[in-house]
Structure 1
Amino acid sequence: MAGKLMHACVYDGSVSGVVGSDVAGEVVEVGSGVKKFKPGDKVVAILRLIAGGGLSEYGVANEKLTVSRPPEVSAAEGSGLPIAGLTAHMALTQYAGLNLDGTGPQKNILVTAASGGVGQYAVQLAKLGGAHVTATCGARNIDLVKSLGADDVLDYKSPDGAALKSPSGRKYDAVVHCATGVSWSVFKPNLSDKGVVIDLTPGAAAMWTCVVNKVTCSGKRHRLGRAEEAWSKCIDGHATGKIIVEP
C-alpha cells in the first residue's frame, strides 16, 4: 500500500523495525538532529511498519529512510516508488546478476505478474539492463506491459502463459516471480543451467522447495476516505500497478 503524505515531520532517530509504507509529500517540521532536510522540502520516504502512519495527512519519517523528491516527480508518483522499485532493483541486480548499464552478456528474464507494482518496475529495469524480457499478466494488461518494453507478453491464463514458455524458445536466466500459485515443476524446465527464481511471494511450499533445490531465492488512485476500499483491492491481488492513496 502506498500513501501520499501531504505533510511530513522528519526526525534523526536510528533505523529499526520492519520497513512499511511508502509516502511522499512536503516537510513541515524537522527534529533537532536532522541535517539533510528543512520545512518546505519535497520528499519521498519509507515509514517503519511497526510505527505505521502511511494512511494519514501527517506522518513521521526517519531521515535515513527519506530522500529528496525531484520537482518533476509528483507526490502520487513518488509514493509508489520506494518499496516496489527497490524490490525490483534488488531482485535484478543482486540476485539475477543484471548490470543496469547494459554491460555483460544479455540475459533472458521472465517477470510474472508484470502489471503489478514490482512487476512494472522489473520489466523496465530489465530492459534498461539490455535483457530480453518475457512477461506474464492478465489479458486486459497485455498492451500496458508491452508499452513498458517487454519483448514477449503472455496471458497467464493461456496454455503458454500457464506453462511460462518463452516465445523465443530460450531458457530463462532469471525469473522475477511476483505472482502466486506457480509450482517449481513449472519453472524447472524453463530455466537455463544456472537459472534462478527470485520468489517475491513465497509460501510454505516455495520455502521448502528453496531449501531442497537451493533456488535463489495501479494506476488507480484512492482518496484517504476510501482507504479501506484501496486496501481491499490491494489484498485482492489483481491491482494494476501501485495503489495510491491521496488526501
Structure 2
Amino acid sequence: MAMEKLMHAVRYHGYDGGPSALKHEQVPIPTPNKDEVLIKVEASSINPFDWKVQKGMLWPILPPKLPYIPGVDVAGEVVEVGSGVIKFKPGDKVVAAVNILNGGALAEFAVIKESVTASRPPEMPASECAGLSVAGLTAYQALQSAGIKLDGSSERKNILVTAASGGVGHYAVQLAKLGNTHVTATCGARNLKLVKSLGADEVIDYKTPDGAALKSTSGKKYDAVIHCAMGIPWSTFEPNLSSNGKVIDVTPSASALMTFAIKKLTFSKKQLVPLFLNPRGENLQCLVDLVKNGKLKTVIDSKYPLNKVEEAWARSVDGHATGKIIVEL
C-alpha cells in the first residue's frame, strides 16, 4: 500500500488554551469529494470567529470533533478536482471558504466545495484576497441585508459602521460607499485618517462622548448600522436610528438574539438583525472582481508565516488589529 502523503497543519485538541494550545502536526493531505477542489494554500487569515470556536463559544455545534484545524479563509492554487467539478482545473488561482464544520484553512492543503470557490487573477497576490471569504463576505451580506446595492441604484441611505478599522468594518465602509450612501464610521483615534481614506464621510473616535453615543456630527439618523463592535446595548442605537432603521449585528451574542426576538414580537419598526454568514462563490467572485478593478482593497494589519501562527492568533485575540491579520504559507 502506498504511503499516505502528509502535510503541515495547525490543530488544537481541546477547548481554551489560546495560542499556546495550537499544535503543529503532520496530518494526511485530504482528498476532494466529487464536488470539491483540493487547494494548495498560499495565504489564510485569522478571524475572531476562529478563537471564539476554540474558546467553546459555539459549543456544542462547533467544532464537531477534535482535533480541529481552524481557519476558514483560503487563497491558493487548485491542485486536484473532484469528478463533478466543472469550473476549476489544476493550476487555477482561487479564493475560497472552507466548510466551518470541517475547518481546515491553517494547513498546507485544504478541500473546499466548488460552490464556495472563486477565481482570482494569477497576478493578484494571495495576501490581498485572503481576507475576503469571511470578513469581506460578512460586510457584503450585511450591506445586502441593509438593502444597499453596490451599483449605487438603491435610494440614498445613511449608514453607520462601528469598529470601522477592523477586518469586517474596513470592507463595510468601502462597499457601502459603492452604494448610494452617506457613511458615518467609528474607530479608535489612531485610525481616523485611515478610515477617512477608505471613503467614510464622517469618522468619530469611539472614545469621545459623541462616539460613545454613536452620534453623527451632522446629526443624521441612520437607516442601517453595520455593527462590527462588541458590547453596545440597544439603548445606545435606538435614538440614532431612523423610523425603520436596522442594526445588522455581524457578531450576534445571546443578548442580541433576545433583542431581535423582542423587537420582532413587539412589531417594532426599528430592528436588530443578527447576521449569520452564508458563504457563496458568486458573492466571493463579486468581491475578487472589485479588488481586481481597484474598487476594494484589503488593509493588512500584519503578516505571519504558518510556523508563527500563534503570534497571529494572539494578535487577533488582542482585538486591536487594523484590517486583516494574514498567515502566509
Deviation at 1:115?
0.6
Deviations 1:45-84 (A, max 9, x none): 1111222221112222221221111234211112111221
Mapping of residues 150-229 of structure 1, within 5 Å: 150-214=200-264, 215-217=271-273, 218-229=300-311
Give yes or no for the alignment of 1:237 onto 2:288.
Answer: no
Deviation at 1:11?
4.4
Paired residue secondary structure (1:220): strand
Q: 2:74 aligns with which of 15, 23, 37?
A: 23
Name the CA distance, whole Å, in 1 between partners of 2:250 and 2:85.
34
Alignment match, 2:99: 48
Gap change, CA 1:63 and 1:9, over 3 Å in 2: farther
Paired residue secondary structure (1:201): coil
Percentage of pairs with the same residue: 62
Deviation at 1:228?
1.4
Deviation at 1:43?
0.8
Name the CA distance, whole Å, in 1 between partners of 2:172 and 2:95.
20
Gap change, CA 1:47 and 1:171, over 3 Å in 2: same
Contact 1:9/1:27 (8 A) holds in 2 = no
Name the CA distance, whole Å, in 2 between partners of 1:60 and 1:23.
10
Q: 1:12 aligns with which of 1, 10, 34?
A: 34
Name the CA distance, whole Å, in 2 between partners of 1:56 and 1:234.
18
- What amino acid is the match of 2:148? L
Deviation at 1:20?
5.9
Alignment match, 1:76: 127
Deviation at 1:161?
0.6
- What amino acid is the match of 2:108? E
Contact 2:147/2:154 (8 A) holds in 1 = no
TM-score, normalised by the number of residues in structure 2? 0.68
- What amino acid is the match of 1:30? V
- What amino acid is the match of 2:180? G
Aligned residues: 239
Q: 1:86 aligns with which of 122, 130, 137?
A: 137
The structure with the largest alpha-carbon Rg is: 2
Give yes or no for the alignment of 1:99 onto 2:181.
Answer: no
- What amino acid is the match of 2:197? S
Contact 2:71/2:106 (8 A) holds in 1 = no
Give yes or no for the alignment of 1:34 onto 2:85.
Answer: yes
Alignment match, 2:182: 132
- What amino acid is the match of 2:91? G
Contact 2:104/2:110 (8 A) holds in 1 = yes
Deviations 1:74-103 (A, max 9, x none): 11112111221111111112x211122212
Give yes or no for the alignment of 1:118 onto 2:118.
Answer: no
Deviation at 1:32?
2.5
Name the CA distance, whole Å, in 2 between partners of 1:35 and 1:101.
29
